[in-house]
Structure 1
Amino acid sequence: MNLTKAAGSTRKIKRIGRGQGSGHGKTATKGGKGQTARKGYNEKRGFEGGQQPLQRRLPKVGFTSKIQKPYVINVEKVKAVAELNEISFESIKSVHKFAKSVEKIKLIGKSAKALASKIKDEKISVSGSKE
């Protein structure tokens, strides 16, 4: 049974601050003077010497809210919605284009509250009313 370590699997430890002959003397691999040369120095993650760190220079990405906001229709601008007899998801779709991903619609404008009695779908709300 061979208990010797494989060739090249171990290295000698780097003995720092043991004189000029070692190659790691004088400044003990810490460079010149200053904050970084002192013992106990701990640089913050991402620190770039006073320059604005990369993670703060780049825009924030990666968050999308789970709360889905309703698609808003101004009845003052889209007169066809105000003229409908019955307001439902399908009837609005027939007079006004919106994306397939829309699940809720909110009607806004001065005359929106007057349309509250015409609404036949729980997915549609009027401004000023609780959802």
Structure 2
Amino acid sequence: MALENLKPAQGSTKDRKRVGRGQGSGMGKTSTRGGKGQTARTGYKAKRGFEGGQQPLQRRLPKVGFTTQIAKPYVINVEKITKVAELAEITLDSIASVHKFPASTLKIKLIGKGASGLASKIKDERITTSGRA
């Protein structure tokens, strides 16, 4: 097998772009760098995401990916929802029978006037009270 006949396939290679070799080459004068300014200089490198001073996209969008581990309780105002205050025993199931709340609810906090008086009726550790007596 003759090694001198090995050549790259036709059209698979291109000649190197020779810039700055006169106007007749079509790549003379500014050497394909456009006009003047920062981008025409040697050593110029735009920082990733830089948009010419405009607020970059990654800073315009909100941060995502963090969720707090502290679950906020679902709050029920016993002044507005009086059916909760009228219950004999206060548990998550008994509240669900008189008031609709999300299924993902882990804790309930009773607030409003008279909420602290309901502390003796609470039979579930996931329910807390707060408010004026």
Q: Structure 1 length normalisation: TM-score?
A: 0.76
1:95 maps to 98
Deviation at 1:31, TM superposition (A): 0.6
Deviation at 1:56, TM superposition (A): 4.4
Do the aligned partners of residues 41 and 81 (structure 1) sit closer, same or farther apart at CA in structure 2, a change above 3 Å counting? same
Alpha-carbon RMSD: 2.6
Deviation at 1:107, TM superposition (A): 1.6
Deviation at 1:66, TM superposition (A): 4.8
Deviations 1:24-50 (A, max 9, x none): 221111111112212222223233333
Detail structure 1 runs of 4+ shifted over 6 Å in the superposition: none
Deviations 1:56-87 (A, max 9, x none): 45x42644625332211112221111221211
1:22 maps to 25
The structure number with the bigger radius of gyration is 2
Instruction: Look up the equivalent residue of 2:106 and give its one-letter code.
Output: E
1:112 maps to 115
- Which of 11, 25, 29 aligns to 1:8? It is 11
Deviation at 1:127, TM superposition (A): 3.6
1:73 aligned counterpart, secondary structure: strand
Unaligned segments of structure 1, at least 5 residues: none
Q: Percent identity?
A: 67
Question: CA separation in 1, counterparts of 2:124 and 2:11?
Answer: 75
Aligned residues: 127
